[in-house]
Amino acid sequence: MNKSGQMGLGAVIAATVRRELLLAFRSPGDVINPVMFFIIAVTLFPLGGGTDSAFLGSIASGVIWVTALLAIMFSMDSLFRADFEDGSLEQLLMSPQPLYFLLLAKVFSHWLVACLPIIILAPVFATMLAMPEAGILPLVLGLIVGTPILCLLGAIGMALTVGLSRSGLLLAVLILPLYIPVLVFGTGMVEAAQGSLPYTGLLALLGAMLVLAICLSPLAIGAALRISVN
Amino acid sequence: MLEVKDLYCERDDRVLFEHLSFTLSAGQVLQLQGSNGSGKTTLLRILCGLNQDFSGNILWQGQAMSAVAAEFRDQIFFLGHAPAINKTLSPTENLRWFCASRGVNQISGIPAALAEFGLKGYEDVPCYMMSAGQQRRVSLARMKLLQTGLWILDEPFTALDRKGVKELETDLARYVSSGGSLLLTTHHPLELDCPVDVIDLDQRALEKAVS
C-alpha cells in the first residue's frame, strides 16, 4: 500500500473549488444559461413596458433584482444534480473531511460561476434601463452581499429536491418565500439611495443575513442531502 | 472491528432482514448473497451510514457507530452501484478530487493506481469517452489511493472483463492477507485465495418463513 500524507482543510477546499470550476468550464451551457436568462429578461422589459425613461428608471432596480433572483433559482439545479446521479454525492457524504466546508466550497464555486457575471452586468443594464446614477452603487453592493444568500438558501432547497426527477416547481415553492427578505432589502437599498437617504443600515441587515446563512445553511444542506440519498 | 447486532430493516412494508447479527474482523472476507431485491445493497448502505431507516446496533471498534462516525468514515472505502465518476472530467481529475475529499495527499500516486488497473494512456481522456468497464476501473483505482481498514464493495465485478476480474480477485486477496477487512456483494462466484464467510439473505428469509 502507498504511504499517504494528510491534506490540510484549506487544500481540500481549494481542490473542491477547482473541481467545480473545471466542471463549469467543461460544460459552459450550465454557466451561460442563467446569465443569458438574465440578459434576455432584462432587455425585454423596455420592449414590453414602454420606453419612457422616467418609468423605466423607477422600475429598474426591481427588474434587475427579480430577474437576477430567478436566474439564480434556475441555476441551482446544476449544483447537486450530476453528483447525485453519478454517485459522487455518496462519496462526498462519506468523506471524513468536514462536510460543512466541502458544501460551502461547492456553493461558493456556484456563486462564482452563476452570480458573478450577473453582478458585473448589473450596472450596465441598470444604465440601460435609465436608473438614476445614485442607485447604481447600492444596487451592486446589494447584489454582492445578497446573491450569496440566494445561493445558500437555494442550495438547501436543491438538496431537498435533488432526488426528485422534476423538482423545478417544488424548488420554487420551497425557496421563494425565503428569497423575499433579500429582495425587499436589496431593492430597498436602491430606493433609499435614490431618495438621498442612507442605505448602509439595509446593507448591514443584508450582511447580517449573509453571515447567518454562511453559518447555518451548510448544516441544513448537509442534513437535506443525507435525506435525499437515503 | 465491525459488529452488527440485531439489525432490522423494512422497505415498503416488506421486512428485508431482522435479527441480523454478524461481526467482521481484520483480515476477514464476508460475502453477502441473495437474490435481486433481497436487501444486499440496503444493508451495505446502512453500514456506510447512507441509509438511516433501520433499528439495531452497529458497533465500530466496540463503540456505537453514531459516536465514531468521523473515525469510521476515515477507515472505510465504499464502492457503490454508481461509479461516482464525473464523466466530463478525466480519470486523473476525478481521482484528484477524490483524494482531496478524503483529505489524502496522494496526487503523485494517481498515475500508478490508474496503470495498475490497465488505464495507462487514458489518464487525461474524458471519462465519457471510455467504456463502462474502463469507468469501473477508474472507480476501482480509488482503493489503491487510500489506506483504509475496511472495504465495502457493492458488485465490484460489474462490467469488468475476465482478466480484470482475475486481477481484482488477486488484489482483494492481497488486501485481506495484509490485514484488511472486506465486505462485498457479488453474483460472480468468488475465487479468492482466502476463506470467505457468506451471509445468505435469501436463506434467512426462508428460515423465517419455516419457523
- What pLDDT does A115 receive? 94
Summarised one tens digit per residue, pLDDT across range A153-199 is: 999 999 999 988 887 889 999 999 999 999 999 999 999 999 999 99
pLDDT of residue A12 exceeding 80, the answer is yes
With an 8 Å Cβ cutoff, are A16 and B101 in contact? yes
How far is C-alpha A30 from the chain's CA centre?
A: 14
CB < 8 Å to A17, chain B? none
Q: Which residues contact A168 (CB under 8 A, 6 or more apart)?
A: A77
Say which of B50, B74, B112 has its CB closest to residue A96.
Answer: B74
The DSSP secondary-structure symbol of B120 reads T
Q: At what angle do helices A136-161 and A77-86 cross, to 10 degrees?
A: 30
Integer Cα distance of B25 and B7 in angstroms: 18
pLDDT of residue A124 exceeding 90, the answer is yes
Listed in sequence order, the DSSP H helices in chain A are 9-26, 28-49, 53-75, 77-86, 88-93, 99-114, 116-128, 136-161, 168-194, 200-229
> Would you place residue B106 in the very low, low, confident or very high pLDDT band (cuts 50, 70, 90)?
confident
Question: pTM above the 0.80 mark?
Answer: yes
Max mean pLDDT among A219-223, B29-33, B40-44 falls in A219-223
- What pLDDT does A2 receive? 41
With an 8 Å Cβ cutoff, are B103 and A7 in contact? yes
- What pLDDT does A53 receive? 86
Say which of A2, A97, A229 has its CB closest to residue B145.
Answer: A2
Q: Identify whether the C-beta of residue B9 lies closer than 8 Å to the C-beta of residue B54.
A: yes
Identify from A6, A13, A17, A19 which residue to disrupt to test chain B contact, counting B C-beta atoms within 10 A and taking the largest count.
A19
Integer Cα distance of A59 and A129 in angstroms: 8
Element (H, E) at A135: none
Distance of CA A9 to CAs A13, A219, B72, B172, Å? 6, 17, 19, 31
For all residues of chain A together, what is the average pLDDT? 91
β partners of residue B23: B3
Distance of CA A183 to CAs A153, A178, B190, Å? 13, 10, 60
With an 8 Å Cβ cutoff, are A87 and B83 in contact? yes
Summarised one tens digit per residue, pLDDT across range B113-127 is: 999 898 999 989 999
**Percent of chain B's residues with pLDDT above 90:** 31
Say which of A4, A26, A229 has its CB closest to residue B106.
Answer: A4
Distance of CA A193 to CAs A129, A142, A197, B180, Å? 17, 12, 5, 66
pLDDT of residue B48 exceeding 60, the answer is yes
HEC string for B54-99: CEEEEEECCEEHHHHHHHHHHHEEEECCCCCCCCCCCHHHHHHHHH
Q: For residue B81, how many C-alpha atoms fall within 13 Å in the half-sphere facing its CB?
A: 8
Integer Cα distance of A186 and A50 in angstroms: 24
On whether any CB of chain B is under 8 Å from the CB of A94, the answer is yes
- What pLDDT does A3 receive? 42
With an 8 Å Cβ cutoff, are B105 and A7 in contact? yes
> Would you place residue B209 in the very low, low, confident or very high pLDDT band (cuts 50, 70, 90)?
low
**Percent of chain A's residues with pLDDT above 90:** 73
CB < 8 Å to A102, chain B? 101
Locate B150 and state its grid cell. Answer: 475496511
